Structure 1
Amino acid sequence: MLGISRREMLRSASCGFGYLAMSALCGQNSFAASSATAPSLNARPPQLPARAKRVIFLCMSGGPAQLDTFDFKPQTGKKKHAGSVFDFKQHGESGLWISELLPETAKHADKLCVLNGMYADITNHAQSFLQLHTGDRLRPRPSLGSWIVYGLGTENQNVPGFISLFPRKPSVYSSAFLPPVYEGTPIGLNTSDMSKATINNIASDHLPARVKRRQLDFVQAMNREHATRRPDDSRLEAVIQSMELGFRMQVAAPELLDLSNETKSTLERYRVGQGKVVGACGDSDFGRQCLLARRFAEAGVRFIEVNHGSWDQHSNHRADLTANCESTDAPIAALLEDLEQRGLLEETLVVWGGEFGRPGLVPENKKDGTGHNARGFTFWMAGGGIKRGLAYGKTDPTGARAIEGKVHFRDLHATILHQMGLQHDKLTFKQGEREFRLTGTEGGKVVKDIIA
């Protein structure tokens, strides 16, 4: 044991691997869960024929103004109504209308399926953001990423199955009542500097690797003995698996987070370190996030969330929206380009959107600001078996509400699960005496019209 006593090993293990695994992999809002089978991260076959192997969710928090990004509503007549205040052009063979603020994304118009008929239930940020991620606007529920890893496991046993980059709050990556092993791993909490972000407590060089392995085996033997006396407590198995994953991650994770082996041209295409900061949301370094998302996708991470804010332009609409688009446009285009070139786009479902949209900017608004609008807004999807170059659904002439091709968050969730090979009404978890699912008792429908 290289001179390390049993007592020293136990102390080092309890303060090392246990803290490393649980702080790196488990979030802040885990609850006790019950299930007929032990929780596992092992890859499992899909329930349905799968078109996608993974999801990258580009979360634009705050409510992106759809009328100045992807839902063109020209202001016409002598007395102009609220509508698009930036110029739009049609792009690609599909002729999708895209704002002048997104010239790089516009080059990939024929990859996009633009959902202009999105709608949600409420216009408060917190509740709608929670519903976007968990399907429920009031109570803590498992995040979409947790449900997917619960249903499919993960392709790479050396990295987490669910990673959230620059998350705003724990609801983004919480597993809630699902076993903690399905919790998302946050990297770079909101208001932090993404250039310095890492998986907390993953680095460990206090002992040689073979000694750390023996140390962990010693602790795990006690854990498994403890677990045999409590067969119904899934949390114990989750801790055991988290500690094993924490050990493996010490080798795999630092390499994935290290961008030093990327070329200068790649870093420039993604605009790493060049994004503008809007509001008090911290330096999200959105380009770094998108590049990391590509690397995590290549490594087999099942669900990757990339976060950017704030799109809540109650004032300075033109200037702040321009800055947000400048920060995100080129990195998103680079991500789509790389996924396509590397043969990953067809098996990667990319989703862009926020918790709701915004009404049109009233011309006489002196603050140059807009409010919240959950009755009609825009998402887009790309890859993962979704139709390309399609504008699906529409809002009324002023963009105030969805009137055709309406898609609720429940429908969005059902469609994402379907493309991943999961049946939304069969992916359930029993908590207490109730069966829970992502799409809830009100259900959702797969939007078949957008599936290729």
Structure 2
Amino acid sequence: MNIHNLASRRKFVSQAFGGVGAAALGTLLQGYANADVQSQVSGKANKFGLPHFQPTAKRVIYLFMSGGPSHIDLFDYKPILEQKHGEELPPSVRGNQRLTGMTAKQKGFPVCGPIGQFAQHGECGAWISDLLPYTSKIADDIAIIRSMNTEAINHDPGITFINTGSQIPGQPSAGAWASYGLGSENQNMPAYVVLLSQGNGKNPGQPIFSRLWGSGFLPSNHQGVMLRSSGDPVLYLKDPDGITRENRRDQLDHLAALNRLKFQTSGDPEIETRISQYEMAFRMQAAAPEIADLSDEPESTFQLYGEDARQPGTYAFNCLMARRMAERDVRFVQLFHRGWDQHVSLQTHLRAQCLDTDQASAALITDLKNRGMLNDTLVIWGGEFGRTAYGQGKLGSGRDHHGRCFSMWMAGGGVRGGVSYGQTDEFAYNIAENGVHIRDLNATMLHCLGIDHERFTYRFQGLDQRLTGVEHAHVVSDILLDRSTPHG
């Protein structure tokens, strides 16, 4: 047999069956690759049947404190920790729980009292540390959850778990799920935007990986887009010298035509995604610089957020950016602030982190409220876990990781303000009442967006994948204005 005939026959069969398979796959995944899915705040379902019910939040701003803020020093007041400071933590409290390698072989586990002073604030009487004087002023606007918990005890699995619903890397992030299900109401900006900042203290914090805002197995147009802290907000945002907008438009039109020809032969849905992303980038060239230009902000804005808000790359600047993007209906904005991992020098580093973040976090809530936007903007504050009641290092100068219980707060978007939910034991070491797993947090966030987490799935590797995983998760209805949990 002529080898050339054999090659031609093989090529024909391959293309024939490949074309049929690609066409079937393209038809099957056509809906998944559509980057223009629109949510209807009126409650009218989009092509995915979302929202399942009337949402209370149009958008989410997630203030992620990377490293694990100490609940003991900030939100979970336990007088016995002050009384027994320096004494051994009772073994009955620790039980047989896993400890990290940093303290597992520690000779003793001395109780370490809070470094600040606690007082009750607002009409609700919430206990908050004096390390957070600005947050204390918004006590009646936030719901503090003191019974958060996770299985993870180290940073990478912990931060991956809370952001993606799995300790194993590669799953879609919460923001990607929101983008996939609800799409964007601003056609000139991505549905999911990420901003990074670093604490001013000497503690650099754990590394942040782009997979934390990745799309995983979802179409790639739903991954988060990170805006930079200096220069152009996005790399290559400006066209090269000599290229006009008309030139660029013509280039994209020709490139799109070529990509569509390729799609007709391969049926790969990612090609359509690529076309839509090129179009988004073109529109962002005008939209992103306008959002980052603070020249239209009055002086009162910087008095509210603090002087750091003038400096790109700071947490305060990013909080202000989050408000500006919320005004423009960006669906999901996530701020990652590093530096909360205080194994040593707790007094110095924790105070520095609070100084970096406290005023701006509270300002964001106040600003949204003053603009009438807090009602439909869900704000979440917290990290991947908390810190131990016992000290780490010489004279207990720091605290180790603690996932058994920790504190987070939520505000706006259907959340009741002035609420303190959940209880820990007298040492703030174990959950005593109304535990809230991080899966429950994600279920509650989706609920506020009008999504039933059990019905919000994506078929991958033979399973109906969910942000909340296959384990049981429930909506924390007690912290919501509408305590019902409708299912369509």
Alignment TM-score > 0.5, same fold? yes
Which of the numbers 63, 70, 73 marks the counterpart of 2:75? 70
The 3-state SS of whatever aligns with 2:398 is coil
1:199 aligns with 2:234: yes
- Segments of structure 2 that go 5 or more residues without pairing to the other structure are 1-25, 40-44, 46-50, 86-110, 198-207, 482-488
Equivalent AA in structure 2 for residue 35 of structure 1 = L
Cα distance per residue 1:149-186 (max 9 Å; x no partner)? 10000010000100010172112210011111101001
Which of the numbers 267, 270, 276 marks the counterpart of 1:241? 276
Question: 2:305 — aligned with what?
Answer: 270
Equivalent AA in structure 2 for residue 47 of structure 1 = H
Question: 1:105 — aligned with what?
Answer: 135
Question: 2:29 — aligned with what?
Answer: 35
Which of the numbers 180, 186, 206 marks the counterpart of 2:226? 186
Contact persistence 1:275–1:286 (CA under 8 A): no
Question: 2:320 — aligned with what?
Answer: 291
Equivalent AA in structure 2 for residue 70 of structure 1 = F
Equivalent AA in structure 1 for residue 221 of structure 2 = V
What TM-score do the two structures reach when normalised by structure 1? 0.86
1:84 aligns with 2:114: yes
Q: Which runs of 4+ in 1 moved over 6 A?
A: none
Counterparts of 2:236 and 2:305, CA distance in 1? 28
The 3-state SS of whatever aligns with 2:336 is strand
Question: 1:49 — aligned with what?
Answer: 54
Superposition deviation, residue 375 in structure 1: 0.1
Equivalent AA in structure 2 for residue 328 of structure 1 = T
Superposition deviation, residue 432 in structure 1: 3.4
Cα distance per residue 1:235-256 (max 9 Å; x no partner)? 1111010011011111111100
Equivalent AA in structure 1 for residue 324 of structure 2 = R
Contact persistence 1:42–1:157 (CA under 8 A): no
The 3-state SS of whatever aligns with 2:368 is helix
The 3-state SS of whatever aligns with 2:399 is coil
Question: 2:210 — aligned with what?
Answer: 170
The 3-state SS of whatever aligns with 2:254 is helix
Superposition deviation, residue 429 in structure 1: 1.0
- Segments of structure 1 that go 5 or more residues without pairing to the other structure are 1-31, 189-193, 277-282
Counterparts of 1:99 and 1:152, CA distance in 2? 38
* Percent identity of equivalent pairs: 40
Cα distance per residue 1:290-333 (max 9 Å; x no partner)? 00000011111100001112111111101111110011011111
Which of the numbers 247, 252, 260 marks the counterpart of 1:224? 260
Contact persistence 1:195–1:285 (CA under 8 A): no
Which of the numbers 356, 371, 376 marks the counterpart of 1:342? 371
Superposition deviation, residue 228 in structure 1: 2.0
Cα distance per residue 1:47-102 (max 9 Å; x no partner)? 22100000000000101000111111124686434342310111111111111011
- In terms of Rg, which structure is larger? 2
Counterparts of 2:172 and 2:392, CA distance in 1? 42
Q: Which moved more, 1:201-210 or 1:220-229?
A: 201-210
Indicate how the Cα distance of structure 1 residues 363 and 181 shifts in structure 2: closer, same or farther if over 3 A, else same. closer
The 3-state SS of whatever aligns with 1:60 is strand
Indicate how the Cα distance of structure 1 residues 76 and 400 shifts in structure 2: closer, same or farther if over 3 A, else same. closer
Superposition deviation, residue 195 in structure 1: 4.7
Cα distance per residue 1:210-265 (max 9 Å; x no partner)? 2322221111111112212233x221111010011011111111100112222233
Question: 2:439 — aligned with what?
Answer: 410
1:446 aligns with 2:475: yes
Superposition deviation, residue 403 in structure 1: 1.8
What TM-score do the two structures reach when normalised by structure 2? 0.80
Cα distance per residue 1:416-437 (max 9 Å; x no partner)? 0010011111111112322211
Indicate how the Cα distance of structure 1 residues 216 and 85 shifts in structure 2: closer, same or farther if over 3 A, else same. same
Report how many aligned residue pairs link the two structures: 408
Counterparts of 1:432 and 1:363, CA distance in 2? 43
